[in-house]
Amino acid sequence: MTGGLRIALYQPDIAGNTGTILRMAACLDIAVDLIEPAGFDVSDRSLKRAGMDYLEMAALSRHVDFARFEEWRLGQGRRLVLLSTGARVPYTEFAFRKDDILMLGRESAGVPQTVHDGADARLLIPMRGGGRSLNVALAAAMVVGEAIRQVG
């Protein structure tokens, strides 16, 4: 799992979404990086309820802040691919690599502009009908699915 696709959660707000993403990642053998501080206690009941018994299977790495995460990521030579409502490139038109890190921002605020600007790529999930954004766990599943389809 060390060289494969990863998901990074930037200071997530909602334990249930994080638990759902951890469950998906465990089932798909994808590691998750949680960039703190989270908006909930990581031992929260709703995290455990959403993740069910998959949390013990999940490969979760916690980073005390974004600076430490970046230090680790750059040391690994990995590309940071940010999902953002402010992006212009649809995720379906992007060429993923097997060692990309797919970052999702806080449910309440996304990521700061410095994180947005520092990403190697910024991707959008196109929406019709005036929708602003999708649930973060649903967005993660869609983009992870496309990345897996591309890289195998």
Exposed/middle/buried for 138, CB within 10 Å: 0-12, 13-18, 19+? middle
CA dist 107 → 46, 110, 137, 152 (Å): 16, 6, 10, 29
- According to the model, what pLDDT value does residue 50 have? 62
- According to the model, what pLDDT value does residue 131 have? 79
Q: Using only the alpha carbons of the chain, give its radius of gyration.
A: 14
* Domains of the chain, CATH where assigned: 6-151 (3.40.1280.10)
Point out which residues pair with 7 in neighbouring strands: 32, 102
pLDDT in tens, 9-65: 999 999 889 999 999 999 999 999 999 999 988 775 666 766 567 777 888 899 999
User: CA-to-CA distance for 22 and 20, rounded, in angstroms?
Assistant: 5
pLDDT in tens, 74-93: 999 999 999 999 999 999 99
